[in-house]
Structure 1
Amino acid sequence: MQIKNFKIGQNLKELTDHRTVVLPVACYETTIHQNIHGYIPLHWHDELQFVRMVQGEASFQINEEKLIVRQGDGLFINSGCLHMAEELNESGCVYICLNVSPDFVVSPELYATYVAPYIQATNLPYLYIDPNTSWGKNILDAVWNIHQWLQQKPPYFEIDMTLNLALIWKNLVMNGFQLEHDPMEAAKNRRMKEMLSWIDTHYAEKVTLDEIARAGRLSRSECCRYFKRMLNTTPLNYVIDYRIQKSLVLLQQTDSNVTEVAYKVGFNSTSYFIERFRKLKKVTPLAYKKLKMDGGSIPANKG
């Protein structure tokens, strides 16, 4: 199963219910360029995420850090961390993504000792999983097993899945990563989410830098530093890009037109919307709409 349009809530928390009917686990095969945006947009979720790269290569950003993950590699993304991904070099990037509730990787009696310290650590937004190490191979093999079981549903697969989830977590813990908790770092992450949440609520209105900064309880200059460090953009440019993201779904509605969409997402000038859309997506809004109506695709480019 592929999620092509992330449903993201008010504070950029992904709204997808990552679970089967019975278990709080989900496993997807993701082809990045098939996403409605052409890349995986910025979001976060409570679930722990394990990635196994099947084909190609991608650049992942987790909080303010970036790394490249290539075929055969793996990646752990911690609960609550902002992240996004884009394909590199038109490599046809495909990866398996396993999402699991932190409450489910070990028994409740072991949670406080073996899970809580890891999801509360501020120096562990992600962990590169090296397939050439024994612990890394064990994790990636278990991710593959879970992916296969969820597709094939053999007898007792739920029990096998729970055993493999415990194995995944044991190998991650045995890696010996030294955990740290910095209250200031935790506060930065929280304030960034608060500003992004405010933008999600108000993007269709007139938005000022002062309002964004106020949402994060920051000065204007501090607000700009946060966005530069974590997203490599300015707050107001982020708003413009976010409006264009929101326009993609509207443009695919058969009865929509470019002018209506421009105003719905917060632009007060159709020509400026077209200009910024073309800069970001490399096509005009009308060309994008026609391509999508015809079942075509556009270049996977976010800026």
Structure 2
Amino acid sequence: MQIKDFTVDESLQELTEHRTVVLPIACYETTIKDNINGFIPLHWHEEFQFVLVVKGEAMFQINEEKIIVREGEGIFINSGCLHMAKDQNGTGCVYICLNVSPSFVLSHELYATFVDPYIQATNIPYLLLSSETLWANQIFQSMKEISRCINEKEPYYEIEISLQLTRLWKSLIKNGVPLEYEQKETLKNQRMKEMLNWIHQHYAEKILLEDIAQAGHLSRSECCRYFKRFLKKTPLSYVTDYRIQKSLIFLQQSNLAVTDVAYLVGFNSTSYFIEQFKKSMQITPLAYKKMKTN
């Protein structure tokens, strides 16, 4: 089952509970364009994420890096990393997504040695998984088997999932990536999350560049550099884009007019809201509202 409209809190942490009834793990097929935004918006979660593209190709952004993942390839996204995904060139990208709690990967006795160092490493926000490498193919096979187990629920399937997860993680950490730890990188990621957190709490209010910079304990110029590095846009452009994202939910409420929605998400001009919405969504807010409410 695809999650088409997952929710995030003010810090962009996804609130979806990635688990089956008894296990802290979830595996589902995702068609990117079916998300309410037409893409997977920026978010983060504590779970590890493994992706296998089964159709088309996608552009993933993890922290400040953008990576093209093609059909037959995959990607590992580390715990706590900001990420988003867009369909690349209208290919109708579909991928299998496996989210798993780090604490479930290995037993408590092995966690400190074989899991936590990879969460703390600052040089592994992601790993590209190529079908040309044996270790990546082993990960893909384990993902497919976990997906089958969750769907079919044969007797003792929970144990089989645990076994496949152990094999998957062993394949990942045996690929030979040396771990690095830079306090500076950790601080940069934290400051970026703090600024995004502040925006998401105050998006409906008047926002100045100084406000965003202060939330990250940065100067205005440093604040702009952070957004340019992580998101390839200015802080205030991000505010506009986030307001458009939030408006999609409100526009589906029949009791709210377009003008109401514009002011609810922080625009002080309906005409400017319509202009920015059309620029982002290639459709007017009213047309979008009619399409969704009908």
In structure 2, the residue matched to 1:112 is 112
The answer to whether the aligner puts 1:132 opposite 2:132 as a matched pair is yes
Deviations 1:163-186 (A, max 9, x none): 000101100110010110100000
Report the counterpart of residue 71 of structure 1 in structure 2.
71
Shift in Å, 1:28: 1.3
Which structure 1 residue ranges, 5 or more long, are not aligned? 295-303
In the alignment, which residue of structure 2 is the partner of 1:152? 152
Match of 1:41 in 2: 41
Separation (CA, whole Å) in 1 of partners of 2:68 and 2:144? 20
Q: What's 2:269 paired with?
A: 269
Cα distance in structure 2, aligned partners of 1:284 and 1:239: 19
Cα separation, 2, equivalents of 1:252 and 1:144? 36
1:111-260 correspondence runs (5 A)? 111-260=111-260
* Deviation string, structure 1 residues 34-70 (Cα, Å, up to 9, x no partner): 0000000000000000001111100000001111111
Distance in 2 (CA, whole Å) between partners of 1:9 and 1:77 is: 20
The offset of 1:254, in angstroms, is 1.7
Q: Deviations over 1:206-245 (max 9, x none)?
A: 0010010000000000000000010010001100110000
Number of residue equivalences: 294
Give TM-score scaled by structure 1 length.
Answer: 0.96
Amino acid at match of 1:235: P
**Cα offset for 1:293?**
2.4
Correspondence for 1:20: 20
Q: Structure 1 vs Structure 2: percent identity of aligned residues?
A: 64
Counterpart-to-counterpart distance in 2, 1:275 and 1:129: 40
Structure 1 counterpart of 2:229, one-letter code:
R
Paired position in structure 2 for 1:300: none
Q: Secondary structure at the match of 2:135?
A: helix
> 1:5: which partner in 2?
5
Structure-1 separation of matches of 2:227 and 2:239: 11
Equivalent position SS for 1:176: coil
For 2:242, the aligned partner's letter is: Y
Cα offset for 1:255? 1.7
For 2:186, give the aligned amino acid.
A
The amino acid of 1:207's aligned partner reads I
Shift of 1:84: 0.2
- In the alignment, the residues of structure 1 paired with residue 272 and residue 74 of structure 2 have an alpha-carbon distance, to the nearest angstrom, of 41
Secondary structure at 1:60 match in 2: strand
Tell me, what secondary structure is at the counterpart of 1:15? coil
* Aligned match of 1:88: 88
Question: What is the Cα deviation at residue 88 of structure 1?
Answer: 1.0
Larger deviation, residues 19-28 vs 74-83: 19-28
Query: What is the Cα deviation at residue 115 of structure 1?
Result: 0.5
Q: Which runs of 4+ in 1 moved over 4 A?
A: none
What amino acid does structure 2 have at the position aligned with 1:26?
A: A
> The residue matched to 1:276 in structure 2 has which SS?
helix
| 1:271-290 superposed matches below 5 A | 271-290=271-290
Amino acid at match of 1:60: F
Tell me the amino acid that sits aligned with residue 137 of structure 1. Answer: N
